[in-house]
Amino acid sequence: MLIKLPKASDSLESEVTPQSSYFSRRSLLGGSVGLLAAGALPRWARAGEASRYAEVDPSSPPAWFTAKLADTRWQAMTVPGEAITPFKDASHYNNFYEFGTDKGDPAANAGSLKTEPWTVVVDGEVGKPGRYSLEDFIKPYGLQERIYRMRCVEAWSMVIPWLGFPVSELLKQVEPTSKAKYVRFETLQDPQSMPGQRSSFGLIDWPYVEGLRLDEAMNPLAILAVGMYGRELPNQNGAPLRLVVPWKYGFKGGKSIVRISLTEEQPKTSWQQIAPTEYGFYANVNPTVDHPRWTQARERRLPSGLFSPNVRDTLMFNGYADEVASLYQGMDLRKNY
């Protein structure tokens, strides 16, 4: 007998959008009346599906992005019982050291990042290496909305609705060779548009590099995101293409990716190179293994109010243990932090 046990992260049937409202949404958008009306609306109101979320900044998405939205699987994954972080917070409280070390720096400085045209290189141990414009790179994949917890290694967290596609779909396309053991993600290096890369007191050896073991990258939870909150990614959140690995600390999610390489050797990731005793290659969210300088047992869920700090317990693998714990069977997570 086949018994299917629901995973903690599975959506309940009751949470599924009724088909009628799903289709009526499309018929409204697709209908000629809707199109005519849309023409009369200001630009921001036409910007895809941003109106799904309150107070999302107006944006001007590239045409390929808007086209993808029509077939997006909304709420493919949710975080039941936890509120989504307001867009303003998710887009104005960022670690993106290429644009400065203060949380507000990326939002203030990332306007200089030019995301069009954008080229992504796939190379290394793959059968089909290539160099793509972002539009061509994305073409084979349908977008899904994945609402994930995001736990920063600094002990704060958010809940963010991403738009993206599983890394595994990309890997199947590019055909890793038998030698491929790791995936390396490289962020743009452009001191001209990235003031943080111009600092002579910086400790990071640019470009920023992150990586996953191949089986981690193949896990269905790992996605490459091109949008959030129903719109394209704001520059400060890693536009136009970033990695999201919800069971790992946020710094594992490389932003503004220009190169994806399959490698035989474990990539030398940026934080591990600066402080190997503080940041490991795995960086799985783990409340029982502390950062040398602070505890990881608890986190501040943002927004955290002034008079009622929103402090909560951190979950093993950030609450995704059912899906990913098997990846680390037999490994000492105290050593492989």
Residues that bind another protein (CB under 8 A): 85-86, 89, 92-93, 97, 101, 103-104, 156, 196, 199-204, 274, 290, 292-295, 297-298, 300, 302-306, 309, 311
**Minimum distance, C-beta of residue 181 to another protein, in the bound complex (Å):** 28
Token pair for 179: 């030698």
Which uninterrupted H or E stretch holds 82?
Answer: none
Q: Which residue has the tokens 């995704």?
A: 320
* Residue 18, burial from CB neighbour count under 10 angstroms (0-12, 13-18, 19+): exposed
Taking the least distance from each CB to another protein, the nearer of 136 and 290 is 290
**Minimum distance, C-beta of residue 319 to another protein, in the bound complex (Å):** 20
- Contact at 8 Å (CB) between 3 and 44? no
Residue 241, beta-bridge partner list: none
Q: Which residue has the tokens 């932003």?
A: 255
Taking the least distance from each CB to another protein, the nearer of 165 and 251 is 251
**Minimum distance, C-beta of residue 162 to another protein, in the bound complex (Å):** 18
**Minimum distance, C-beta of residue 303 to another protein, in the bound complex (Å):** 4
Taking the least distance from each CB to another protein, the nearer of 104 and 140 is 104
Radius of gyration of the chain (CA): 20
Taking the least distance from each CB to another protein, the nearer of 185 and 271 is 271
**Minimum distance, C-beta of residue 208 to another protein, in the bound complex (Å):** 10
Residues with Cβ within 8 Å of 210's Cβ and at least 6 positions away in sequence, in order, are 184, 185, 187, 243, 251, 252, 253, 254, 267, 269, 270
Taking the least distance from each CB to another protein, the nearer of 136 and 278 is 278
